[in-house]
Amino acid sequence: MNTHQIRTIGMRIVRVTTLLKFRLLHHRAYTYIGSAIILSSMQKSGTNYLRLLISNYLYILHSNDISNKLDYDAVQHSFPNVRSYVLSGKENIAYSRSFISLDTVGYTDFIYDHGCFSESLNLRMNFVFKSLLGKKTIYLYRNPYDNLISMYYYKFGNRVGSKSSYSHPRELIKDFIPQFCRRYMVQKALAAQAGALMISYEELIRDPVSTLRRLLNHLDLSFDESAAKVALESSSIKSVKAMEKKRGKAIHSPKEGLTGSFIRSGQIGQWKEYFSAQDLIEIKAIINSYSISIDDFIIE
């Protein structure tokens, strides 16, 4: 057994021990997560758009007032929990809710993260920690071409004071695309085994009404066309940019800060402006090495 294998086994033991300790010492929180809606997404795949959309829909529907809408700060206040932070001990579960109560529709919370080690553990250990996937789970992803562009600008290109040596998205291909593939494979496997819903950013943008209807059906929630229309308008890129103008900063700004809006483009197919034919060949080769086809994604 080599050093890498020993280190890997050690990390797994620590993670399992952490989860067992969490379950024993924080049974209430464990149960709480098990009764929640979980949004597990890739970064820069429409996470905050979907959080705004679902939150606005529920708020409008249950307030019986289509003039009501939530801004990003209200959503953060209503649904502040990040599953990976709670499970790692970085944050405690926040039980208070100010704007939306999900109790009436059978859920404790609407929690999100960008992937959690409990997901891969569930795959390896035959769902020993299935409750940590939530009562209902939504997996959100985006096509790898556009996702790489957005990640480049979010992590490096638009960061205030960034000292990164990266000057173009293509320089991230070798590091980023394998990470993307591994994350996508976990999402796909869990969605199939746990009966979760897997949707793409492109579906949300191209056909938001039908996608929202499918999403609500998965959550066993009723669909109201009027509420959906208002929720979509309240969660649009135009509305978010208006929120940012009012706040004087990006809706989701990391400690290092971003220049401009959190939403740089939002367009499908923006990769055409950045990648050469050779870049695409390199990306496809990496994707294919994980037995994934580019045809699995909506790229334009």
Q: Which domains, ranges and CATH numbers included, belong to the chain?
A: 3-296 (3.40.50.300)
Residues 133, 119: contact at Cβ < 8 Å?
yes
Flag residues of the chain having pLDDT under 50.
Answer: 25
Q: How far out from the chain centre does Cα 250 lie? A: 18
Buried b (16+ CB within 10 A) or exposed e, 240-278: bbebbeeeeebbbeeeeebeebbbbebebebbeeebeee
Q: How far apart are CA 145 and CA 45, in angstroms?
A: 12
Q: For residue 283, what pLDDT is reported?
A: 98
Parallel, antiparallel, or unpaired: how do β-strands 110-113 and 37-41 relate? Answer: parallel
Q: For residue 261, what pLDDT is reported?
A: 55
Q: For residue 96, what pLDDT is reported?
A: 59
Q: For residue 177, what pLDDT is reported?
A: 97
The pTM for the full model equals: 0.82
